Structures are given as structure tokens and as C-alpha cells.
Structure 1
């Protein structure tokens, strides 16, 4: 994955927020972006667990 310019990406994120956004709104958007990127990196690195394995681990029906 191409490394993105953090400042540029932060500006894009801020520009997408409504004018009446709060600091909490901004922090939430940053958090979601960070979690999604971390998940994609884990997936690309093969660090995944199948749904079947998770269900078995927690005793959930398939």
C-alpha cells in the first residue's frame, strides 16, 4: 500500500466534516480511519481468523 501524506489525509478528513462538527466528531473519524487501516494491513499480512474459528472459540453456532 502506498504511504500517504498524513497532513494531506488529515485535511481531507477535516474537509469532509460538516461545519458544525465537534472535536469528538473529528476524533471519531480519525479513530475509524486508523482502525480500518490497521485491519487492512493485518489482512494483507495474513493475520486473519476465519469466522468459523471465531464461532468455535466462543461456542457460537455456525
Structure 2
């Protein structure tokens, strides 16, 4: 498992030379969200497409 420092260094190494602070922050944000999603998947915190559709349409299973 990579440390935060290693992740930041890896992201920085893959940014183009003309990258901005906003580009770097966006890359870090995306990486954080991907890590959170993978952790949710590993821990079983997922929903089916049907469950999501029912939730957003206001229809709850009986």
C-alpha cells in the first residue's frame, strides 16, 4: 500500500510540465474519490442500479 506521500509524488510525476495548481488538486481529488469507491466496494457498501433508480424516483421497495 502506498503512503500519501508516495501517491502525491506519483501524481506529480505524471502531470505535464505546464500543469497548474488546479490540475494537481483535481488529480488528487479524483484519486481520493477512487480510493473511497474501492474501499466502499471492498466493504460491501454498494447499491444495484435498480436500487439507485428507485431511490431517486422516490419509489421504495415494499
Alignment TM-score, normalising by the size of structure 2 = 0.85
| More relative contact order, 1 or 2 (CA 8 Å, 6+ apart) | 2
Aligned residues between the structures:
58
- In the alignment, structure 1 segments of 5+ residues that lack a partner are none
Extract structure 1 runs of 4+ deviating beyond 2 A. Answer: none
Q: Partner residue of 2:3? A: 5
Q: Partner residue of 2:31? A: 33
Alignment TM-score, normalising by the size of structure 1 = 0.85
